Copies of this chain bind each other. A is one copy, B any other.
Amino acid sequence: MPELRKDPITGRWVIISTDRARRPMDFVRERTPPPPARICPFCPGMEKKTPPEILAYRESGEPNTPGWQLRVVANKFPALRVEGDLNKQGEGLYDRMNGVGAHEVIIETPEHSASMSEMGEKQVADVFFAFRDRMIDLRRDARLRYVIAFKNHGAAAGATLEHPHSQLIALPVVPKRVQEELEGSRRYYSFRERCIYCDILQQELQTRERIVFESDHFVVIAPFASRFPFETWIVPRRHNAHFEASEPAVIQNLGWVVRTVLRKIDKALEKPPYNFMLHTAPLQEGPLDHYHWHLEVIPKLTKVAGFEWGTGFYINPTPPEEAAEFLRDMGLP
């Protein structure tokens, strides 16, 4: 059973894989990438190569057969397991619990070589509808407190399979970086009685220097204190703490917005690897006046080195004002 452990000093949780532990030689071998697999388990016709569907959007066919547009399956090598109790335990100074949670893969399209920036607008929106549908289902499990939905595109960004896919991990704890956003925005709210994200949007829409583009439902910005070059945030105009509570029209529009951001990044930076992750309120919380869901997109352009790890302090060689201008200049698709 994987284990969740808490750092007693900073309160940061980590997942320790205990059953598929990787030994030194595993890492040495990984440095030479394996030859590409000839059979892709995510392609139509290969449905038996994955765990059974948890969710699928399909035009025809039985579950676990071709005819789907999008499939959600359990990760074959999950970081967490659905079964069992949390069994929280102390061990002297330390806290641990069972690695209870879910780890799912969203197979975004039947087409093996389509990248998300090349997909249809509706197909991209469907990925976010799938995130929503899974979150609504997972929040019924009271053990689960947070779902993080994310995508790694390109080997340098951590993707291990080429076929377009994203992932979600449901956790029995709220992760530290999200906790920091929740606390920071709560402090601001207790002082001003306004949502800090709403205020940021207002200020950005006035100065405009960090606006990449706008849509009916979203404002896309290069954040003032960007950690990475060309870091881009997609923020809904209308206050809403919970992504999964978004109206269908908002998610539909998000498909177009995400595709547009990725196309601009592809064009400006010649198809770099990238990550995106959805920041949303904890599953079991009601509506929150102080928090505001958003999507963070980070092209993988620089190597993160000791300085960043050691300090949580980033050196960004591209001012966000310039990044926003470059991305604006790429035009709309």
Please give the residue numbers on chain A whose beta carbons come within 8 Å of chain B beta carbons, in ascending order: 3, 5-18, 20-24, 27-28, 30, 79, 92-94, 148, 150-152, 155-159, 167, 169, 171, 175-178, 180-181, 184-185, 188, 196-197, 199-200, 203, 207, 223-227, 229-230, 268-270, 272, 275-279, 296, 298, 301-307, 309-320, 322, 326
Smallest CB separation, A78 vs chain B (Å): 10
B326 touching A24 by the CB < 8 A rule?
A: yes
Known pairs A150-B305, A152-B306 / 13 extra A-B pairs, C-beta < 8 Å: A9-B184, A9-B197, A12-B225, A13-B313, A21-B319, A24-B270, A94-B203, A152-B305, A158-B306, A159-B305, A175-B311, A177-B313, A180-B312
**Once bound together, how far apart are the Cα atoms of A230 and B26, in whole Å?**
13
Complex Cα–Cα for A305 and B304 (A): 11
Q: Collect the chain B residues with CB atoms within 8 Å of residue A171's CB.
A: 313
Checking B16, B196, B278 against A226 with a beta-carbon cut-off of 8 angstroms, the contacting residue is: B16
Task: Determine the residue in chain B with the shortest Cβ distance to A146.
Answer: B311
| A188 engages B8 (CB within 8 Å) | yes
Minimal beta-carbon separation of A218 from chain B (angstroms): 18
The CA-CA distance from A225 to B13 in the complex, in Å, is 7
**A165 to B: closest C-beta gap in Å:** 12
Supposing A14-B225, A28-B270 touch, asked if A176 and B311 sit within 8 A by C-beta, the answer is yes
Tell me the minimal C-beta distance from A8 to chain B in angstroms.
Answer: 6
Q: Which residues of B contact A18 (CB under 8 A)?
A: 319
**A177 adjacent to B310 (CB under 8 Å):** yes
Measured between beta carbons, the chain B residues less than 8 angstroms from A9 are: 180-181, 184-185, 188, 196-197
Closest chain-B Cβ to A278's Cβ sits at a distance in Å of: 8
Q: Which residue of B lies closest to A9 (CB)?
A: B184
B275 with A317: CB separation less than 8 A: no
- Assess A8 versus B315: contact at CB under 8 Å? Given A16-B320, A94-B224, A269-B28: no
- Are B14 and A318 in contact, CB atoms less than 8 angstroms apart? no
7 contacts between A and B (CB under 8 A): A7-B225, A8-B188, A17-B317, A22-B317, A27-B272, A30-B301, A279-B310
| Central interface residue in A17, A296, A302, A317, by most chain B CB within 10 Å | A317
Q: Do A93 and B200 touch (CB < 8 A)?
A: yes
Residues of B near A17 (CB, < 8 A) are 315-319
Is A311 touching B225 in the complex (CB atoms < 8 A)?
Answer: no
CB pair B175–A24 under 8 Å, yes or no, is no
Chain B min CB distance to A68 (Å): 24
A47 to chain B, nearest CB (A): 25
* Cβ-neighbour of A314 out of B14, B24, B148, B307 (below 8 A): B14
Question: Which residues on the B side are within 8 Å of A92 (C-beta)?
Answer: 203, 207
Contact A313 B14 (CB under 8 A): yes
Report chain B residues within 8 Å CB of A15: 313-316
Query: Are A169 and B275 closer than 8 Å at their CB atoms?
Result: no
B279 touches A169 (CB 8 A): no
| B21 close to A317 (CB less than 8 A) | yes
Given known A-B contacts A277-B306, A306-B158, A224 and B175 have beta carbons under 8 A apart: no
